[in-house]
Amino acid sequence: MTRQELIAQIKKKKSFLTVGLDTDIKKIPQHLLTFDDPVFEFNKQIIDATKDLCVSYKINTAFYECRGLAGWQSLVKTANYLPKDIFSIADAKRGDIGNTSAMYADAFFSQADSGMSFDSVTVAPYMGKDSVSPFLKFQNKWVILLALTSNEGAKDFQFLKNEESLLFESVLQKSQEWASNEQMMYVVGATRGDAFLQIRKHAPNHFLLVPGVGAQGGSLGDVCQYGITKDCGLLVNSSRAIIYASSGEDFAQAARAEAQKVQQQMAKELEKIGF
């Protein structure tokens, strides 16, 4: 998907919500366990109930990989069930030496090889340019590079200072030599609202994938106050708060109600920038 197509979706749906399909077989409603593939059935119903309210789905591959072959099958089926006009994210946090990264890129981008073709994949920047470049060889596919993450451990490395900048600032600066804002986004956690001011100094026009609202307590208001751009420039993810809104048979309607609350707040923020 191109940047323009993504922006058009945001305008049309008045939403910049990413629904996170962090689907844990131990947490899904009991009545689904009689299905052949309970995780896929859960995802299918969540997607059907929320697809008009969000512009993106993020599949965190850990929740699938941990189940071995069965999990990988749920992952492939879910990836292929996602509506084509919705931006899809394989949240796999990959990155390795060049020839290995090329294999990871095929795994998530090459339908002919792996049976899946996501629009984007999350990548760790630690191994540098040659670990990221293989993902950038695919047209209209995106790298979402970890910049400033939402977790407590982000402080361990991401705020370390070199001569003139913090490590996450160096990630933002250096990686812009590798790709434009038509192919690169950054992960910035919602739990550090005011850090968006600093992020926007270095990446004024890039889209940011923002996890951490909902279950982790980040504020959508703060994220928008400091992070929104004239093109919106934000994809805000919520996983557990939406998909586990109810553990009963009404789980999909409850997920829809939660997604709608967030979407309505987003519509107000988008109005401020004339969308």
Ligand X SMILES: O=C(O)c1cc(=O)[nH]c(=O)n1[C@@H]1O[C@H](COP(=O)(O)O)[C@@H](O)[C@H]1O
Q: Rule CB under 6 A: which residues touch ligand X?
A: 20, 22, 60, 91, 122, 149-151, 187, 189, 211-212, 214-216, 237-241
Q: Which is nearer to ligand X, 188 or 275 (CB)?
A: 188
Q: Which is nearer to ligand X, 224 or 275 (CB)?
A: 224
What's at 76, amino acid-wise? V
Describe the crossing of helices 251-272 and 3-13 by its angle, rounded to 10 degrees.
100
Within the chain, how many helices (H) and strands (E) appear?
13, 8
Quote the CA–CA distance of 251 and 173 in Å, as a whole number.
42
Tokens of 235: 């994809």
State the minimum distance, in angstroms, from the CB of residue 30 to ligand X: 21
Q: Which residues pair with 213 in a beta bridge?
A: 218
Q: Which is nearer to ligand X, 217 or 248 (CB)?
A: 217
State the minimum distance, in angstroms, from the CB of residue 235 to ligand X: 10
Q: Which is nearer to ligand X, 91 or 269 (CB)?
A: 91
Largest CA distance in the chain: 58
Give catalytic residue positions: 93
Q: Which of 151, 136, 241, 243 is nearest to 188 (CA)?
A: 151
CB 51 within 8 A of CB 78: no
State the minimum distance, in angstroms, from the CB of residue 150 to ligand X: 4
Tokens of 23: 């689907």
What region does 122 belong to: left with phi over 0, alpha with psi -120 to 50, or beta? beta
Q: Which is nearer to ligand X, 101 or 275 (CB)?
A: 101
State the minimum distance, in angstroms, from the CB of residue 116 to ligand X: 18
State the minimum distance, in angstroms, from the CB of residue 36 to ligand X: 25
Please state the φ and ψ torsions of residue 54, each to the nearest 5 degrees: -125, 160
